[in-house]
Amino acid sequence: MNAAPVILADGLTRRFGDFVAVRDVSFEVPRGSIFGLLGPNGSGKSTIIRMLCGVLRASAGRATVLGVDVGQDPERVKHRIGYMSQQFSLYPDLTASENLSFYGRIYGLDPERRRDREQAVTDLTQLAPFRERLAGHLSGGWKQRLALACALIHEPEILFLDEPTAGIDPVARRELWDLLFELAAGGVTLLVTTHYMDEAERCSHVGYLYLSRLAAVGTLEEMRNWPGVTPTGTRRIELTCRAPTEALARARRDERVVEVTLFGTALHLLVHEGVADEAVRAALAPGDASAATRSITATLEDVFVGLSRAEREAGHE
């Protein structure tokens, strides 16, 4: 990594009573990157973000954001970071522009600069037609845009987004990501949590959380080439056939198949190296002349499935 990291987590741990929500998590986020924290629900993503934003104390470990230890002195970094939480957390009984002005004042912007910034974030998020509408009356996608606009009012250097696209439609989701790319291009560092695989593919860096533990972290390239994804002695093939769900059931019973995932009408299989394509077709799609196989490389999803398997086998459960 060429620049000093803007976020540094070192052995971050958070316990709630007996439950360990985050266990010994360490990673670095370089300036200007889009860092995706991926993991199933309840894997500790939001807890990590809360600790990095200084609103939740770590039980152990340390987090440094923009050179400030957020466990020690969270207030020193708050005017330089923005946060968009998982649930919509603006005031539904205030209009979009009242919400914006409120956050502008909270960050202590003087009136002139506040007007400039309100204009800038309204332009960026294209909120202008909805300025006078009550925030509670906006649709899901526009709510998220308003939340983003509020989080950006003070030009933060780092923006934390906790599942920003949860519950909004695919078009709004894509548009929101276009906005995020625009921000990243402008030099803002983004830390995004998600459980959508395709969103992870848009990040420059990815960390994968599994059962409160950071199973793997690296650039997207490094993750794709994770050696554990296709263990030695195995290979990946794709099978297309007429009855993929039946083939899936057979594959699960076949001990030559290490791993199988259904992708639409095709199966992605991880099989022992010695098993020939013909044998796979004959075993999983018997009597289907249209069945076809081809060799494939691992997708990011395969990587995460592999990582979860490796974690399970390592006995962390």
Residues that bind another protein (CB under 8 A): 16, 50, 53-57, 74-75, 78-79, 81-83, 85, 87-94, 98, 102-103, 105-108
Q: Nearer to another protein by C-beta: 2 or 87?
A: 87
- Dihedral sign for Cα atoms in the order 52, 146, 89, 206: negative
Q: How far is the CB of 129 from another protein (least distance, A)?
A: 21
Q: How far is the CB of 94 from another protein (least distance, A)?
A: 6
The set of residues, in sequence order, having a beta carbon less than 8 Å from that of 205 and lying 6+ positions away, is 29, 30, 33, 34, 35, 36, 217, 218, 219, 220
Q: Any idea which residue has 């946060």 for tokens?
A: 83
Q: Nearer to another protein by C-beta: 86 or 234?
A: 86
Q: Nearer to another protein by C-beta: 91 or 263?
A: 91
Counting Cα atoms < 13 Å in the Cβ hemisphere of 262 gives: 13
Q: How far is the CB of 144 from another protein (least distance, A)?
A: 14
Q: How far is the CB of 79 from another protein (least distance, A)?
A: 5
Work out the burial of residue 223: count CB atoms within 10 Å of its CB; fewer than 13 is exposed, 13-18 middle, 19 or more buried.
buried
Across-strand partners of 37? 193, 207
Report the first-to-last Cα separation within the chain, whole angstroms.
32
Q: How far is the CB of 1 from another protein (least distance, A)?
A: 26
The H or E element containing residue 39 is none
Q: How far is the CB of 40 from another protein (least distance, A)?
A: 21
Q: Nearer to another protein by C-beta: 83 or 208?
A: 83
Q: Nearer to another protein by C-beta: 147 or 209?
A: 147
Enumerate the H helices of 208-289 as residue ranges.
220-224, 244-253, 277-284
- Helices and strands: H and E segment counts in the chain: 10, 14
Q: Nearer to another protein by C-beta: 94 or 296?
A: 94
Token pair listed for 170: 């695919």
Q: Nearer to another protein by C-beta: 113 or 250?
A: 113
Token pair listed for 67: 């050179």
Q: Nearer to another protein by C-beta: 103 or 142?
A: 103
104 and 157 Cβ atoms separated by less than 8 Å? no
Q: How far is the CB of 180 from another protein (least distance, A)?
A: 18
Q: Is 210 helix (H, G, I), strand (E, B) or coil?
A: strand
Q: How far is the CB of 130 from another protein (least distance, A)?
A: 17
What is the identity of the amino acid at 292?
Answer: A
